[in-house]
Amino acid sequence: MREFDEHSITTEVIDRFAGGSNARLRSVLTALVRHMHDFVREVELTEAEWVTAIQFLTRTGQMCDDVRQEFILLSDVFGVSTLVDAINNRPAPGATQSTVLGPFFVEEAPPAEQGSNIDPGDNNGGVPLYVDVTVTDPAGQPIAGATVDVWHSDAEGFYDVQREGAGLARRARFTTTADGGVRFWTTMPASYPIPDDGPVGQLLNATGRHPWRPAHVHFMIEAPGFRHLVTHVFVDGDRYLDSDAVFGVKEMLIDGFPEQPPGTAPDGSTQPAPWHVLRYRFGLTPTARG
C-alpha cells in the first residue's frame, strides 16, 4: 500500500513494526501507535499545534543535563511517573505504599549512627524533628539490618544539592536495629516548588497549575527478601497536600508530625524549645509476591 488516509495509516504503521523479534517491544509500540493516532484524530490536531508540540519537546530535551532531567519532570507533572510507580509497586496487604523517587536522591548518602542529628544547623532556625520509625514485614514483625536512606528539604524548601558549594545535609543512611527501628534528629521539612524555569514550568503556568510540593521526608528502604521501598511521609495540614504538582500524596503517607512542648525528648535529651516528632511504621512487601 502506498496511499494512506487518516484511518488506514494506523494499521500500516503497526504492521511495519510487526517484524521485530522483541515481542514486548512490538506490543508496546503497537499500543503506542494506536493510542497516539487515536489522540491525533480525536483532537484533530492542527499543523501549527503539531509544530508547537515538537518545539516544546525539543526545548525539554535541551534543558536536560547531568544535574537536571526535564523529561522526568514532564512525566511527573503528567502523573505518568506516579502511574508507572503504582503499577510496578503494588503493595502487599499491610505494606506501605510507594511513591516517586524525586530528583534529589544521592546514591552515596553518608552513613549515620542511631540517635545522631543529620541537620548540621546551616538552615538558620529549622524546628527540631525527632524521627522514630520502624521497618517491619506486612504482619508487623520487625526487620533488623534493613538499609534506610533518608533525605528532605531544609526550612526554606531547598535540598542540600541545590545549595551551591554546600555539603550533604539532612540526608543519611541508617541500618535498622534488632527491633527494626531507626531513630535520629533532624529538622522539619518545608514545602517547595519543583524547577519551573523551563518548558515544564511554562506548561504549568499556561494551564493554571502551581509547581509546589507539600512538605515531606523521603525514605528508601532495602532488606533481603523484600522489595525495595521508595516513599515519602507528608506533613499533615500542608496547603499543597491536595494539589501536589507530581501527584505523589497518598492518604496512608500523611502524618501529623505533632508538635511537642519543651522538655525531655524520647532519647533523654533536653529540648529548650518546641519540637516535632515523626513516628511511623514502614511495612515491606516480600519479593515472593513477584
Q: Tell me, what's the pLDDT at 66?
A: 83
Q: Which position has the higher pLDDT, 166 or 6?
A: 6
**Domain boundaries defined on the chain:** 1-45, 80-289
Classify domain 80-289 at the CATH class level.
mainly beta
What integer is the mean pLDDT of 263-287?
Answer: 97
Whose cell is 527501628? That residue is: 181
What integer is the mean pLDDT of 127-146?
Answer: 98
Residue 290 has pLDDT above 60, yes or no: no
124 — pLDDT class (breaks 50, 70, 90) = low
What integer is the mean pLDDT of 182-194?
Answer: 97
Q: Check if the beta carbon of residue 154 is closer than 8 Å to that of residue 178.
A: no
**Closest Cα to residue 154, out of 185, 121, 184?**
121
Q: What DSSP designation does 92 have?
A: P
Q: Tell me, what's the pLDDT at 119?
A: 94
Comparing 91-95, 121-125, 165-169, 178-182, the range with the smallest average pLDDT is: 121-125
1 — pLDDT class (breaks 50, 70, 90) = low
Whose cell is 497536600? That residue is: 241
Average pLDDT, the chain: 95
Instruction: Say which residues have a Cβ less than 8 Å from residue 176's Cβ, sequence separation at least 6.
Output: 134, 135, 142, 143, 144, 145, 146, 148, 182, 223
Q: What DSSP designation does 40 have?
A: H
- Within the chain, residue ranges assigned H as helices are 8-16, 23-43, 47-62, 70-77, 80-88, 199-206
In order, the DSSP letters of 48-77 are HHHHHHHHHHHHHHHT--SS--HHHHHHHH
Q: What pTM was estimated for this model as a whole?
A: 0.92
What integer is the mean pLDDT of 180-197?
Answer: 97
pLDDT tens-digit profile of 190-221? 999 999 999 999 999 999 999 999 999 999 99
Q: What percent of the chain has pLDDT over 70?
A: 98
Residue 230 has pLDDT above 60, yes or no: yes
